Amino acid sequence: MAQDTSGRRAAGTAPDTGRRRGPLHATLPGCWGAVALACLSFTPSLLPRGGLLQGLISGLAAAIGYGLGVLAALLWRAFADREPRPARRWARLTLLVAAPLLLAAAFGLGQYWQHEIRELMGVTDYNVPLAVASPLIAALTFTLLLLTGRGVRALYRRVVRLLRRWIGPRAALAVGWLLVAGLVYAVVSGVLLDGLMAFADKASSLRDTETPEGAHRPASGLRSGGPGSAVPWDSLGREGRAFVGTGPSQAGIAALTHRPAKEPIRAYAGLATSGDTEARAAKAVADLNRAGGFQRRNLLVVTTTGRGWVDPASADTFEYLNGGDTAIVAMQYSYLPSWISYLVDQSKAREAGRGLYDAVYDQWSRLPADRRPRLFVTGESLGSFGGESAFSGEYDLRNRTSGALFVGPPNFNTLFRDFSDHRAAGSPEIQPVYKDGRTVRFTDDAGAGVPPAGRPWDGTRVLYLMHPSDPIVWWSPRLLLHRPDWTGQAPGDDVLGSVFWMPFVTFWQITADLPFATEVPGGHGHAYTTENVDAWNAVLRSGATGQELADLKKTIAATGD
């Protein structure tokens, strides 16, 4: 038995090939895996990609492919019960000839698909030098990731050799793996991520002290931060000051609608208003009450996104369609930008959405039934996640609101996923039909109709507005290994029919789309502007004419510019 095992290598060590390998050596199976996934990375996703982003995606995909190729070879050798052996000359030559041809073909097709996406969305920006440089960026990214992986492997082997001085070989392998895996996790999560989050939070908190151009301290007591307000102007934060310091006036609403109007009420509480979510919500509601918000005909509770942003397209539309007989209340829960909050501040959004709505509802429910305003709720992106959190399901939304508009809902939204997963058979994931649309409906363009057509939509109306090309709506960790329904169904109007799901690759493609989700023209990606007009018109049943809606869209578009 001793003789049978003496020639076998200890697990976790490299085979003796007679010469020392350099840090950039590559195995043939790994190279084929890298080439395969690099080629697939040029396939289109939801949004246009520039050369820099394409290079990063391709390099990451190649690194994953290399690892999968090495793993596949390792498993094959385990079943075949043999050691690694040098690649044959003809196999190396095949790779050297085929790899450039395959990559060049994939690059050419990728450029064609990107042109098609830009045409579809009306995107004119195209950086030719970066596009040409994308293969070089990919190669650099792949090399850095490969060296990082080999550095971790070298550390693991060093730890194993040290441990074998005190414990057995098998125990050393297991303990060494746990130690190195724990160290990598601690470095990535505890040093890199925490450090980046701390830096982003500090930088964002400094930005929060600014006042955006065009926002002025209100001269009216109907706004937080104005005369008589219990919320100081300086405590509102940048986005809070933008919200209360802008927006349509009574005169502006009357001029557009050609009807008498009221001055809208806007209440807001920033992070500096109070350090506690419950106390912050109480102050926002107290200021809403002071301004007479509960005496208006329409009351809207907004769960903000990121730094406390309230979408002006949505808020302004709500006020215009209701003739200014409105009150809107919102509060800030984070300093971080929207896309970072989307990844790390979900619990804060949930707490803020639930806390603010419950505080409003508590006071609203004490009013006589005939003196209560119509109560609406809205949120965009992470704000929709927070807005949903105040409700347990369809019946709760129906019983405790007069209507709701959720825009660009993240895929992890609890109610959104429940409604979508239990949609009617045959209805697509990009526009599901839930319970015959009796309460909850979905659309990417309410002006073109809200399915199911011809079915009654009485009582409370809950509408989800989402673009087929919005990566925030479709991103999920499940994309790594599970194909979502939307990739196997007819694509939306702004998604190429050539988009399909691939393990690992699609996940990273959609992930790379996230930071640029709003960097596309309105009506695509996560850029929701004039679509709010038709969406709110459907939820409110405003009765506005086609011409009035068209005029309002022009006003909203001009405000966004």
What is the identity of the amino acid at 453?
A
Confidence band for 9, pLDDT divided at 50, 70 and 90: very low
Residue 300's nearest CA partner among 264, 332, 328 is 328
CA distance linking residue 36 with residue 38, whole number of Å: 6
Q: Please tell me the predicted confidence (pLDDT) of residue 4.
A: 42
Nearest partner of 37 among 555, 507, 523, 560, judged by Cα: 507
Residues 6+ apart with CB under 8 A from 259: 323
With tokens 């010469």, the residue in question is 19
Give the pair of three-digit tokens for residue 7. Answer: 């020639």
Judged by average pLDDT, the poorest of 13-27, 224-238, 289-303, 521-535 is 13-27
Is there a cis peptide before residue 452, judged by omega within 30 degrees of 0?
A: yes
Separation CA 228–CA 243 (nearest Å): 18
Neighbouring residues of 360: CB distance < 8 A, sequence distance ≥ 6:
285, 288, 299, 301, 329, 375
Is the pLDDT score of 3 beyond 50?
no
pLDDT tens track for 78-133: 887 777 778 788 888 999 999 999 999 999 999 999 999 999 998 888 888 999 99
- Give the CA count within 13 Å in the CB-facing half-sphere of 226: 21
Nearest to 443 by CA among 489, 406, 480, 488: 406
- Mean pLDDT, to the nearest integer, of 12-23? 48
- In angstroms, the CA 387 to CA 353 distance is 5
Distance of alpha carbon 539 from alpha carbon 461, whole angstroms? 5
Model confidence at 234, pLDDT cuts 50, 70, 90, reads very high
Residues 212-216, mean pLDDT to the nearest whole number: 88
Counted residue by residue, the chain has a size of 561
pLDDT of residue 342: 65
Look up residue 107 and give its two tokens.
Answer: 């690059």
Question: Average pLDDT, stretch 306-315?
Answer: 92
Q: What is the pLDDT of residues 344-403, one digit of tens each?
A: 667 888 999 999 999 999 999 999 999 999 999 999 999 999 999 999 999 999 999 999
The mean pLDDT value for 6-21 works out to: 44
- The C-alpha atoms of residue 208 and residue 205 are separated, in whole angstroms, by 5
pLDDT recorded at residue 12: 42
Quickly state the pLDDT bin for 334 (edges 50, 70, 90): confident
Q: What is the mean pLDDT of residues 131-144?
A: 94
Helices (H), 332-474: 338-344, 346-364, 382-388, 394-400, 414-421, 471-474
Pick the range with the lowest mean pLDDT from 86-90, 257-261, 465-469: 86-90
Q: Which of 140-144, 203-207, 485-489 has the lowest mean pLDDT?
A: 203-207
Q: How buried is 321 (Cβ within 10 angstroms: 0-12 exposed, 13-18 middle, 19+ buried)? A: buried
- 555-560, long-range: CB within 8 Å, 24+ apart, which pairs? 555/256, 555/316, 555/320, 556/313, 556/316, 556/317, 556/529, 556/530, 556/532, 557/522, 557/529, 557/530, 559/312, 559/313, 559/316, 560/312, 560/313, 560/522, 560/529
Q: In angstroms, what CA-CA distances link 65 with 61, 115, 318, 437?
A: 6, 26, 49, 44
DSSP code string of 136-173: HHHHHHHHHHHHHHHHHHHHHHHHHHHHTTTS-HHHHH
What does the pLDDT average to over 132-145? 94
Q: Which long-range contacts (CB under 8 A, 24 or more apart) does 516-522 make?
A: 516/47, 516/53, 517/47, 517/339, 517/470, 517/471, 517/472, 520/47, 520/48, 520/121, 520/123, 520/469, 521/121, 521/122, 521/123, 522/557, 522/560
* Closest residue by Cα to residue 502 from 486, 479, 485, 472: 479
Mean pLDDT across the chain, nearest whole number? 89
**Which letter does DSSP use for residue 42 in this model?**
T
When pLDDT is averaged across residues 10-31 and rounded to a whole number, the result is: 61
Tracing tokens 């709760």 back to the chain, one arrives at: 396
pTM of the full structure? 0.87
Retrieve residue 179's tokens: 């130690």
Q: Which of 178-182, 257-261, 377-381, 457-461 has the lowest mean pLDDT?
A: 178-182
pLDDT of residue 77: 82
Q: What percent of the chain has pLDDT over 70?
A: 90
% of the chain surpassing 90 pLDDT: 66
Rounded Cα distance between 341 and 333, Å, is: 10
**CA nearest to 139, candidates 75, 85, 81, 60:** 60
444-482 b/e (C-beta count within 10 Å ≥ 16 → b) = bebbeebbbeeeebeebbbbbbbbbbbbbbbbeeebeee
Q: Are 494 and 466 in contact (CB under 8 A)?
A: no
Question: According to the model, what pLDDT value does residue 515 have?
Answer: 84
C-alpha to C-alpha distance for 234 and 464, rounded to whole angstroms: 34
Q: Which residue has the tokens 């003739």?
A: 323
Q: Name the token pair of 333.
A: 């829960």
Q: What is the pLDDT of residue 307?
A: 84
CB-side exposure of 470: number of CA atoms within 13 Å? 24
- Cα 561 to Cα 555: distance, rounded to the nearest angstrom: 10
